[in-house]
Structure 1
Amino acid sequence: MKILFAINQLSEFVGGSLVPVEVAEYLHGMGHDCTIAANHVDEPLAPLVARQGIVVTDEIPALNAFDFDLVWLQNHTAPLLRYEPVDGSRERTLFVFAHLSGLTFHENPGLVFEPLLADVTIANSENLKRHLTQLDVPPDGIVVYPNPAPAGFWRIDPAAEPAQTPTTVQLISNHAPPEIIDALALCSQRGIDTAHIGQAGTYVRVTPEMLGADGAVVSVGKSVQYAVARGIPPYVYDRWGGPGYLTVENFERAASANFSGRCCFRKIDAQQIAEEIVEGFPAACRFLAGLPPGLLRRYRMEPYIEQLLSRIDSAPPNAARLETLIQKAPWLRRERFMALGIRDNFRGHKAGNAKIRQMRRETRKLKRRLQPG
């Protein structure tokens, strides 16, 4: 099958890009022909994806949606595609609209294309599902896709007696607040190995091998599911605060907000964070080891994707979709103009940031050359 992912950016290691990338990697591994099209394509993420044989392009408007069996859409990219019946077009295309947040315009539902085309709407949490239904997205069409982890992350070993303190504490964050950075330093002073994976630390894609045993992970969002899959207790805290280690009392509430910390907005200081990370570690290990298999299955990625594939044959015929699109043509043109403006503005924003970074590098080089001696 041919599968298309249309997103806003394929450059940074962020959830909005990594979610479709993980799905594309799985489908590509099954032998499907996958394309990821983004408004902005750049290092470091895009080359990693392209080297796997997945097609990467920044020319979304050149693509015809009806050439694909499944189209996964994010960030108001649906209006950028063409919808034309030509030789080689599919009789049916399943349209999946994925929403990974409700905080920004980019992540909220589209105005015309999405209501007309959506066969499946994805929300990454129960809270987001409620938000989408308040915007008149039909609840029956919403699938909660809780940032599940790919098979490579799963390693649930038989429960062993946990260590009294973590041997390592890994912070995974692109936007860690000061209290977390300070807490990491306090853990280090106790003789615990610490590391920061993210834009202010070591900026790499998180892999299963990075998440070692006998340690704790401090993070929110996708990395929490990664940690759960590896059997490593996650301490849920970031710029929104958070509940800390997962417990019987807070697990479902934290999950309903996609482990973002927005389940409680609890903000504490560095000293308390460090104490909770160290002192609460054994109990957090025991809680994680005791999670039932049925609950853990919720966070395995592959069953969700298999369910999507099974729905392709029941998608509406593209001929019928085209008739509906033609009836709404003036409204669709309006939304396309808006999507093109969003695309141009975002690409300009990225180009401007790149130019600023280049000028800063050149300024630093010039200062070094002008220094005496």
Structure 2
Amino acid sequence: MVALEWATHFHALGYEICLFANSAGRTMAKLAAERLGITPTDDSSQIRPFTYDLVYAQHQVLPLFGYDETAEDLQTTRIIIGRLSRRSFMESGGWAYERALADAVFANSALTAEHLLSVGVTTPITVFHNAAPNAFFRSHFDKPATPRRITVVSNHLDPDVLGALEILKRSAQVQVFGGTATTSTLVCPEIIAATDLVISIGKTVQYALASRTPVYVYGHFGGPGYLDPENIERAHRFSFTGRCCERPLSAERLAQEILDQYGKGVAFARASTDRWLQTFRLEPYLEAAATLPARSNDEKRSALKREKMIPQERLMAEHARENYLAVERSAKLVHKFLVNSA
């Protein structure tokens, strides 16, 4: 979603967009066609980073591309690396390609930024707080005494959360995106604005904050529940993943807390100041990205030649890509088998 939001922003400003992914699923391909009028490519041989004004890259794809000099090369390309976690090779920092090419690193949280510094990243780091696009921001609207419409967003629904939802369905309309949902849907501003309560972790929390919609932060890691002045700083530091406290609750306790403390969530949404919420507005970070200082492409090409680990990192990136595609192919075969066996 982060890459798509970057692409959408710059497309609206008149930039010509190229969207690369190791694998673009049907849902993402459809979104790219609708928003950008393009088809994502998975052919890394087509991508020559030095022919673009700006490159945003995540998940270690830079080693897959070509950097030999061509007639189409620009003098300068701003290359920005997104780091959205700190727990896997695909999100880790401090690599040779990053040292040689990156003009800036955008980290999703302060915790991620601290990790990058700890592994030796010297490229300037911007914490963009997993920010939400302008379209999600709105003024506070009155909410009912208890939630009548509940929106749940998660790809990792905890069994106790599922149990709590069954209890909540007795008094509210519950809509689930991800997890047990049978179709893939983009969580858009209209969905968040139409609900009385969001239950989620991660980036959806920023969407809810921007919309001044009460949000209950809980998932497979546990979580703080409703945000308040006492827990917001720690929850924010952990990018609203729930890892800030890992407080496991039973289905019954979850449902009771969600209903009994709903007023707390409403109060926090109402009290959040415009100034504080600006932290979670995406566009200022993207506007800054377009004007960041950048080294020339000649300098970057020379830096690539100096880095001794470039060949090994390219092999690692290619291996990660092939492994992912192999797992994806296996998953499709299993799905096809299950459908045919039903």
TM bracket (short chain): over 0.9
Deviations 1:325-357 (A, max 9, x none): 2233x5211211121111111111111111111
SS of the aligned residue for 2:280 comes to coil
Structure 1 position 42, deviation (Å): 2.1
Higher RCO structure, 1 or 2 (CA under 8 Å, sep 6+): 2
SS of the aligned residue for 1:211 comes to helix
Identity %: 32
1:278 aligns with 2:259: yes
**Residues 28, 54 of structure 1: 8 Å contact kept:** no
Structure 1 position 277, deviation (Å): 1.1
What is the aligned counterpart of 2:34 among 32, 51, 66? 51
Q: Which residue of 1 aligns with 2:56?
A: 72
TM-score relative to the length of structure 2: 0.95
Deviations 1:1-37 (A, max 9, x none): xxxxxxxxxxxxxxxxx01101111111111111110
The 4+ residue runs of structure 1 with deviation greater than 6 A are: none
1:134 aligns with 2:118: yes
Q: Which residue of 1 aligns with 2:10?
A: 27
Pairs within 5 Å for 1:219-368:
219-311=200-292, 314-328=293-307, 330-364=308-342
**Residues 64, 318 of structure 2: 8 Å contact kept:** yes
Pairs within 5 Å for 1:121-160:
121-138=105-122, 141-157=124-140, 160=142
- Pair 113,67 (structure 1): closer, same or farther in 2 beyond 3 Å: same
Question: Any gaps of 5 or more consecutive residues in structure 2?
Answer: none
Structure 1 position 233, deviation (Å): 0.7
Question: Any gaps of 5 or more consecutive residues in structure 1?
Answer: 1-17, 365-373
SS of the aligned residue for 1:294 comes to helix
Q: Which residue of 1 aligns with 2:181?
A: 201
Structure 1 position 240, deviation (Å): 0.4
Deviations 1:99-118 (A, max 9, x none): 10112221112521112222
Number of residue-to-residue matches in the alignment: 340
Bigger strand share: 1
Find the aligned partners of 2:313 and 2:195 in 1 and give their Cα distance. 51
TM-score relative to the length of structure 1: 0.88
Find the aligned partners of 2:166 and 2:45 in 1 and give their Cα distance. 48
Find the aligned partners of 2:231 and 2:103 in 1 and give their Cα distance. 33
Find the aligned partners of 1:213 and 1:347 in 2 and give their Cα distance. 37
Find the aligned partners of 2:169 and 2:34 in 1 and give their Cα distance. 37
Deviations 1:125-178 (A, max 9, x none): 11111111111113x711111111111111123x64x42211111111111101
Q: CA RMSD in A?
A: 1.5
SS of the aligned residue for 2:264 comes to helix
Find the aligned partners of 1:26 and 1:199 in 2 and give their Cα distance. 28
Structure 1 position 121, deviation (Å): 0.8
